[in-house]
Amino acid sequence: MKTVVIIGGSKGIGKAIVETLLDSHRVINLSRSVPEQHHANLTHYNVDILSDDLPEITNMDALVYCPGSINLKPIARLSLEDFREDFEINVVGAVKAIQKYLEVLKQSERPSILLFSTVAAKLGMPYHASIATAKSGVEGLVKSLGAELAPNIRINAIAPTVTDTQLASKLLRNEKMIENIKERHPLKKFLNPKEVAEMAEFLLSGKASSISGQIFEMDYGIVTFKI
């Protein structure tokens, strides 16, 4: 049974990934809040990724970094601190985790790392300057480390469109906004966390052994199609 360390697995997409993997993997969750799930395969550490020392873990096959932010403001209202905070949680936290557990990952037979970007890194959208900048850093990290860590460790990222989580609740707070979001996507849907978790499960599995350094847009067509 493989061991997966998930940072930020108590809410949103991270929670869905934990739920998807629990029956078939040992899951170690690091987050500020305790997961709702109770399972023999689940171990939890209360950790603030940016301020706390990360726990010593001696065995892992995969590392998943889920923390993110949606900080949507006009550029005139975004402070330099906004940019710093978004970069810290999305990029620096991921780097901290990778550096901490890199040597442990190298001991696995088929180790992998999974990060998260956003469709806003490729599709220019108003008010996304800070988060798009940070997530573009994530994508650069994936490309660079994909080359640096080959052939031993695979690293990929998922770039979701709007996903029905607490983080996106302001974008989906009423029926009119939900319909507008659907209409913006050529396939007339937006994501639920389970869909993203199933893609994560695939990318961590042996079925994805040929894939590294890639960004997977789960976008219901919004980046690629103009209909």
The closest of 61, 44, 56, 43 to 2, measured between CA atoms, is 61
Is residue 146, in this structure, part of any structural domain at all? yes
Is residue 170, in this structure, part of any structural domain at all? yes
Is residue 157, in this structure, part of any structural domain at all? yes
Is residue 163, in this structure, part of any structural domain at all? yes
pLDDT digits (tens, 9 = 90+) for 187-196: 899 899 999 9
Is the pLDDT at 155 greater than 90? The verdict is yes
Question: Residue 70 and residue 59: Cα distance in Å, rounded?
Answer: 33
Greater confidence (56 vs 224) lies with 56
Domain range for residue 127? 3-218
* 168, 70 contact by CB (below 8 A): yes
Is residue 226, in this structure, part of any structural domain at all? no
Is residue 224, in this structure, part of any structural domain at all? no
* 132, 118 contact by CB (below 8 A): yes
Is residue 223, in this structure, part of any structural domain at all? no
Is residue 227, in this structure, part of any structural domain at all? no
Confidence bin at 153 (pLDDT 50/70/90): very high
What are phi and psi for residue 2, nearest 5 degrees? Answer: -75, 155
pLDDT digits (tens, 9 = 90+) for 73-120: 999 999 999 999 999 999 999 999 999 999 999 999 999 999 999 999
Give a three-class secondary structure readout of 125-156.
Answer: CCCCHHHHHHHHHHHHHHHHHHHHHCCCCEEE
pLDDT for the residue numbered 138: 98
* CATH number of the domain bearing residue 99: 3.40.50.720
Question: Starting from the edge strand earliest in sequence, which strands make up the sheet with 112-116, in order?
Answer: 42-46, 26-31, 3-7, 62-65, 112-116, 154-160, 215-218
Q: Compute the chain's Rg from CA coordinates.
A: 17
Quote the number of domains for the chain: 1
* 175, 222 contact by CB (below 8 A): no
pTM score above 0.75 = yes
Percentage with pLDDT > 70 across the chain = 99
